[in-house]
Chain A
């Protein structure tokens, strides 16, 4: 077991060191949600009235509403960034080194996933600290209760990235991921507007939002930030994680690889 943990630690440490050396990536990961929080929310707070909906006990400002969605956004982008780095590793050959380790492939991929989750939680922590400095404070308990929620949502979004990376062979194809995965997942969710608001304009769009796993990831984070548990959201996220992870393991299976790829 010690050897397994050693391999996991080696993979997590490598990802952390790579992330630490990429200051631009860290800055971009923070600037993106902060622009939404400071600029977008300021413009929308007057246009978008919010009623009292769980877990909130009172009327809230729009800035407060979108904080959980922006935490999810950080993890969504991080999951895709990890996926991009996996495709890069495949092109550069580092993936070969990883996959020739004697540990089972599922453990190596799960370790990669955990490394990405650790990096995403670090980004969310810094974001929440800046949000608090800007006056958007949450219950103290929420800062602790959100940690397990972020681990689960991070695993789900990371597994999605892993699944995508198993289907993409070239970095050039990655732009499609932005258009067909990140943007639809983010905008068709409860990250920016509650589902009842969406219902007012389109019942179909509301239904699409309701089955989007990212909606449930955001709701899990939202409830956890207020020290509450949303069991239905947890179930959705866990099921989505299981589906994506199984798909990724299938995608990286050497026996299936044999059928599709030409050895490079």
Chain B
């Protein structure tokens, strides 16, 4: 299987010695939407920092599209598209300039880059805003732009770390639907969230709590007669935040 595979990934903070991740093991197949569901402080952002090699895992193995992130980091990173929880945009540059910068960071230039940028913006219905400055966009459009940017180099694995934080209900629903559609076109999608209503019954779910995977499986299967929300609270003791 390609897509994303993690086995026995652990990580501790040197300063406190606290174990942020403990033997995390799961996989996401190509074409699947997998929700990494966990309350605040579960270790989701630390896991994303490891998956994008901002920090290195001392233990365990991470494989991206068949490439070991530790042994072949360049090949693995070239196949990852990422949307961080915190926006990473140049507000005073246009949408297209932001996209071109990112294309350049992946070695794409000229006509190849222009075609890839147009296709990615079109996919997220953002093409008509290509000439606008990012500062002029609302939160939902900025997020869509960031997702489009993550698709420029046609990644095989798409990582999104709580991408709907700070968005209103309509924008949240639209972006969640967009990414579900994207997953059907090929990439393995890992979507970190603590909001159960962003997960569909067909989605795969990994519940992360205090750095450990509590359960992994289909959303409907995990809910098993109850609701996913109730099961989540039952497993983690967390009370889901009321969506904005």
Among the 9-residue stretches B75-83, B121-129, B187-195, B206-214, the one with 4 or more Cβ atoms under 8 Å from chain A is: B75-83
B74 touching A10 by the CB < 8 A rule? no
Interface contact A93-B86, CB-CB below 8 Å: yes
**Which of the candidate stretches B29-37, B50-58, B170-178, B231-239 sits at the interface with the other chain?**
B50-58
Q: Could you say which residues of chain A place their CB within 8 Å of the CB of B56?
A: 254-255, 257-258
- CB-based nearest B residue for A258: B55
- Whether A262 pairs with B15 at a CB distance below 8 angstroms is yes
What separation, in Å, do the CA atoms of A6 and B113 have in the docked complex? Answer: 11
Smallest Cβ-Cβ distance to B103: which chain A residue: A10
Is A96's CB under 8 angstroms from B105's CB? no
Give Cα A4–Cα B77 distance, bound, in whole angstroms.
15
Given A93-B88, A97-B102: A102 and B13 interface contact (C-beta under 8 Å): no
A92 interface residue (CB < 8 Å to B): yes
* A residues 139-187 in Cβ contact with B at 8 Å: none
Interface string of B101-129 (1 = CB under 8 A from A): 11111111100000000000000000000
The reply to whether B84 and A93 contact each other, CB–CB distance below 8 Å, is yes
B8 at the interface (CB under 8 A from A): no
> Is residue B244 within 8 Å, beta carbon to beta carbon, of the partner chain?
no
Task: Say yes or no: is A133 at the interface (Cβ < 8 Å to chain B).
Answer: no
* Interface residue total, chain A, C-beta cutoff 8 A: 36
Q: Does A263 contact B (CB under 8 A)?
A: yes
Q: Looking at the complex, which one of B15, B50, B84, B108 makes contact with A260 (CB distance below 8 Å)?
A: B15
Interface size on B, residues (CB 8 A): 42
Task: Verify if B49 is at the interface (C-beta below 8 Å from A).
Answer: yes
- Roughly how many angstroms separate A94 CA and B90 CA in the complex, as a whole number? 8
Stretch touching chain B among A11-19, A23-31, A202-210? A11-19
User: For B11, what are the chain A residues with a Cβ–Cβ distance below 8 Å?
Assistant: 258
**Chain B residues with Cβ under 8 A from A7's Cβ?**
104-107
- Other-chain residue from A103, A258, A263 in contact with B45 (beta carbon distance below 8 A): A263
Set of chain B residues within 8 Å of A263, measured between Cβ atoms: 20, 45-46, 49-50, 54-55
Q: CB-defined interface of B3-44 with A at 8 Å, one 1/0 digit per residue?
A: 000000001011110001000000000000000000000000
B87 within 8 A of A: yes
Determine if A52 is an interface residue (Cβ-Cβ < 8 Å): no
B101 adjacent to A254 (CB under 8 Å): no
- Flag whether A122 is at the interface (Cβ < 8 A): no
**A195: interface (CB < 8 Å):** no
The answer, yes or no, to whether B230 is at the interface (CB within 8 Å) is no
Contacts of B73 in A (CB 8 A): 102
Task: Establish whether residues B87 and A258, one from each chain, have CB atoms under 8 Å apart when the complex forms.
Answer: no
Which of B13, B54, B93, B100 is the one whose CB lies under 8 Å from A100?
B54
26 contacts between A and B (CB under 8 A): A2-B107, A11-B105, A93-B88, A94-B88, A96-B88, A99-B54, A100-B53, A100-B80, A101-B105, A102-B73, A102-B77, A103-B105, A104-B74, A254-B54, A254-B55, A254-B56, A257-B56, A258-B11, A258-B56, A259-B14, A260-B15, A262-B13, A262-B15, A262-B16, A263-B45, A263-B49
* Interface, chain B (partner A; CB < 8 A): 11, 13-16, 20, 45-46, 49-50, 52-56, 58, 73-75, 77-78, 80, 82, 84, 86-90, 92-93, 97, 100-109
Given A96-B86, A97-B84, A98-B105, 19 other A-B residues pairs in contact with their CB atoms under 8 A: A2-B107, A4-B107, A6-B104, A9-B104, A9-B109, A10-B103, A14-B93, A21-B92, A94-B88, A96-B88, A99-B53, A100-B54, A254-B53, A254-B56, A255-B56, A260-B14, A263-B50, A263-B55, A264-B45
What is A's interface to B at a CB cutoff of 8 Å? 2-4, 6-7, 9-11, 13-14, 17-18, 21, 92-94, 96-104, 108, 254-255, 257-264
